[in-house]
């Protein structure tokens, strides 16, 4: 037995099986306007977490990348007769935490409040105003659009950000997932306030919403809270299905930037949320590059050869097939060797799969760490929103450890062979070690 295999076996023995925390069953119902509600009571602390999620991410931008995020950002910049400062002051006075954001699939607002009725009712009413009656005032629109353009310009100085955007463009082409959530300099300049108003009216609707609630409430209290937060949204219509993601062709994009470092992204389309191959691919990737320093890619590229401080791989499941990504950062003169090793490591893994020792260690590591991923109401409400948004089984969290433990070496090998083709990889290389803006 090799030293690495012995270490993996020892790790698997040290990590005793850990059962999932005894979570209450998820309760679910639908509001009159079509918003779907998911609720888990948690009575230990006098707190309530709420997350309202809309199918209103950058995949819905249409011709104007950045539109979804700009709309979402503007929600709290005034609601009804309150300006941005007054909204912020009222949230602060209540001692609650409000947040919002937008990615490719979804946009959301979140609230954390004491469960004391007067405070919670006032906070919920304010969130409802933000969602249903945002001012989207011309001055606020111009300010936020200008801020996003400055942020876009600053992001161009980050090689990692440049590599990420180039990778999505190369992988997804004309598919909506190619849109950068933060927009581009050209697309942001072209967005008008009228388009923001139309976007909000179309996508911030009851039948396009999921409400997740976790906290110190009974079912009747959760029902009242859901109605107060989201019940006034217009019913509207759900967003239409996104187009299927085509299999990409092999392609290499090289972008030269003045730097001593080169950033590399290599990958292909991966899987969707609820994919039947999810657990086999997820556990297998933990062995390949998702398991930190003991993963194969890290051992080969970082530990044995010292080519990079951080080497990784991951899947991003989405409504449609999100990306499978391998990446690293290395010195310019080592970029070609590092790329070659990433590709070779993937080829070997797809051909052979994990060893039994690697698989056992990966499963115990995932299962052992699972309770830490759901050890707070804030964590649980995010999972609850994901379960509702992607229509995953209601027992997803309860059965997660068992589903991981059931993964076999044959299942991993079969899933990777069917889903990850080493001959159809998109490669993006950004930095001083790249060619002058070449694409082939």
Model confidence pLDDT, tens digit, residues 205-259: 999 999 999 999 999 999 999 999 999 999 999 999 999 999 999 999 999 998 9
Q: Kindly state whether residue 426 falls inside one of the protein's structural domains.
A: yes
Tokens of 259: 């730097």
Burial of 351 (0-12, 13-18, 19+ CB in 10 A): exposed
Domain co-membership, 212 together with 331:
no
Which of these, 291, 294, 289, 290, lies nearest to 304 by C-alpha position? 294
Which of these, 64, 56, 73, lies nearest to 136 by C-alpha position? 73
Q: Kindly state whether residue 22 falls inside one of the protein's structural domains.
A: no
How many Å separate Cα 290 from the centre of its chain? 15
Q: Which residue has the tokens 């609720």?
A: 39
CA dist 140 → 144, 150, 187 (Å):
6, 15, 18
Q: Are 200 and 71 in contact (CB under 8 A)?
A: yes
Q: Are strands 78-79 and 311-315 parallel, antiparallel or unpaired?
A: unpaired
Q: Kindly state whether residue 439 falls inside one of the protein's structural domains.
A: no
pLDDT of residue 316 exceeding 50, the answer is yes
Domain co-membership, 208 together with 249:
no
Q: Is 307 helix (H, G, I), strand (E, B) or coil?
A: coil
Domain co-membership, 131 together with 161:
yes
pLDDT of residue 1 exceeding 50, the answer is no
Q: What pLDDT was estimated at residue 3?
A: 43
Q: Kindly state whether residue 10 falls inside one of the protein's structural domains.
A: no
Q: Kindly state whether residue 13 falls inside one of the protein's structural domains.
A: no
CA dist 110 → 105, 128, 369, 414 (Å):
16, 11, 26, 39
Tell me the pLDDT tens digit for each residue of 163-213.
999 999 999 999 999 999 999 999 999 999 999 999 999 999 999 999 999
Q: What pLDDT was estimated at residue 23?
A: 72
pLDDT of residue 82 exceeding 70, the answer is yes
How many Å separate Cα 292 from the centre of its chain? 19
Rounded (5°) CA angle 5-355-369: 80
Tell me the pLDDT tens digit for each residue of 165-175.
999 999 999 99
Residues β-bridged to residue 181: none
Q: What pLDDT was estimated at residue 404?
A: 97
Q: Are 427 and 254 in contact (CB under 8 A)?
A: no
- Chosen domain end from 230, 263, 288: 230
Local confidence band at 24 (pLDDT 50, 70, 90 cut-offs):
confident
Domain co-membership, 216 together with 73:
yes
Domain co-membership, 41 together with 87:
yes
Q: Kindly state whether residue 356 falls inside one of the protein's structural domains.
A: yes
Local confidence band at 433 (pLDDT 50, 70, 90 cut-offs):
low
Domain co-membership, 278 together with 352:
yes
Domain co-membership, 192 together with 264:
no
The whole-number average pLDDT for the span 331-356 is 96
Rounded Cα distance, 197 and 75, in Å: 11
- Chosen domain end from 203, 230, 257: 230
CA dist 410 → 263, 350, 354 (Å):
33, 11, 9
Q: Which residue has the tokens 């581009």?
A: 184
| 11-20, 269-278, 302-311, 316-325: segment of lowest average pLDDT | 11-20
Domain co-membership, 197 together with 284:
no
Cβ partners under 8 Å of residue 131, min gap 6: 52, 75, 109, 204, 229, 230, 232, 233
Mean of the per-residue pLDDT values for the chain? 92
Q: Are 262 and 342 in contact (CB under 8 A)?
A: no
Q: What pLDDT was estimated at residue 12?
A: 39
- Chosen domain end from 230, 262, 277: 230
Q: In this predicted model, which residue has the larger pLDDT, 438 or 190?
A: 190
Domain co-membership, 259 together with 216:
no
Q: Are 404 and 35 in contact (CB under 8 A)?
A: no
Percent of the chain with pLDDT over 90: 88
pLDDT of residue 310 exceeding 70, the answer is yes
Q: Is 423 helix (H, G, I), strand (E, B) or coil?
A: coil
Consecutive H or E run containing 345: helix 335-352
pTM of the model: 0.90
Rounded Cα distance, 38 and 53, in Å: 11
Q: What pLDDT was estimated at residue 15?
A: 36
Local confidence band at 372 (pLDDT 50, 70, 90 cut-offs):
confident
Domain co-membership, 248 together with 215:
no
Domain co-membership, 258 together with 220:
no
Domain co-membership, 260 together with 388:
yes
The whole-number average pLDDT for the span 356-370 is 95
Residues β-bridged to residue 260: none
CA dist 215 → 40, 108, 429 (Å):
7, 18, 46
Rounded Cα distance, 359 and 284, in Å: 7
Q: Kindly state whether residue 331 falls inside one of the protein's structural domains.
A: yes
Domain of residue 148, residue span = 28-230
Residue 64's CATH number? 3.30.830.10
Local confidence band at 356 (pLDDT 50, 70, 90 cut-offs):
very high
Q: Kindly state whether residue 437 falls inside one of the protein's structural domains.
A: no
139-170: burial string, b at 16+ Cβ within 10 Å, e else: ebbeebbeebbeebeeeeeebebbbbbbbbbb
**Could you tell me the end-to-end alpha-carbon distance of the chain, in angstroms, rounded to an integer?**
43
Could you give the number of structural domains in the chain? 2
Local confidence band at 367 (pLDDT 50, 70, 90 cut-offs):
very high
Q: What is the DSSP letter of 318?
A: B
Rounded Cα distance, 125 and 38, in Å: 19
The whole-number average pLDDT for the span 292-302 is 93
Tokens of 414: 């079969």
């Amino acid at each position: 037995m090799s030293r690495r295999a012995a270490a993996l076996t020892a790790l698997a023995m040290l990590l005793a099986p850990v059962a999932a925390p005894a979570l209450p069953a998820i309760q679910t119902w639908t509001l009159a306007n079509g918003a779907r509600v998911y609720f888990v009571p948690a009575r230990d602390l006098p707190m309530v977490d709420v997350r309202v999620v809309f199918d209103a991410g950058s995949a819905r931008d249409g011709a104007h990348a950045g539109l979804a995020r700009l709309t979402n950002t503007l929600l709290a910049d005034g609601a009804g007769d309150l300006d941005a400062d007054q909204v912020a002051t009222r949230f602060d006075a209540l001692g609650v935490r409000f947040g919002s954001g937008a990615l490719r699939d979804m946009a959301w607002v979140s609230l954390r409040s004491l469960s004391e009725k007067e405070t919670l009712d006032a906070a919920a009413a304010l969130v409802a105003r933000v969602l249903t009656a945002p001012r989207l005032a011309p001055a606020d629109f111009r300010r936020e659009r200008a801020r996003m353009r400055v942020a876009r310009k600053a992001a161009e100085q980050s090689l990692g950000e440049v590599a990420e955007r180039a990778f999505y463009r190369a992988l997804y082409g004309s598919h909506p997932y190619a849109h950068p959530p933060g927009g581009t300099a050209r697309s942001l300049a072209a967005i008008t306030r009228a388009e923001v108003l139309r976007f909000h009216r179309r996508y911030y609707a009851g039948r396009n919403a999921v409400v997740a609630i976790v906290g110190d409430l009974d079912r009747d209290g959760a029902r009242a809270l859901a109605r107060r937060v989201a019940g006034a949204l217009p019913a509207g219509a759900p967003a239409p299905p996104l187009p299927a993601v085509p299999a990409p062709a092999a392609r290499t994009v090289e972008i030269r930037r003045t730097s001593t470092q080169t950033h590399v992204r290599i990958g292909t389309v991966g899987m969707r949320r609820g994919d039947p191959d999810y657990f086999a691919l997820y556990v297998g990737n933990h062995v390949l590059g998702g398991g930190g320093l003991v993963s194969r890619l890290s051992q080969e590229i970082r530990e044995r050869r010292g080519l990079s401080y951080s080497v990784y791989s991951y899947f991003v499941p989405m409504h449609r097939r999100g990306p499978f990504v391998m990446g690293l950062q290395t010195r310019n003169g080592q970029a070609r060797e590092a790329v070659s090793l990433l590709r070779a490591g993937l080829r070997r893994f797809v051909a052979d799969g994990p060893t039994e020792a690697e698989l056992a260690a990966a499963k115990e590591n995932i299962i052992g760490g699972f309770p830490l991923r759901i050890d707070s109401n804030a964590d649980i409400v995010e999972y609850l929103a994901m379960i509702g948004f992607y229509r995953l089984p209601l027992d997803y969290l309860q059965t997660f450890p068992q589903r991981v433990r059931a993964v076999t070496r044959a299942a991993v090998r079969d899933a990777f062979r069917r889903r990850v083709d080493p001959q159809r990889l998109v490669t993006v290389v950004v930095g001083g070690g790249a060619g002058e803006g070449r694409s082939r």
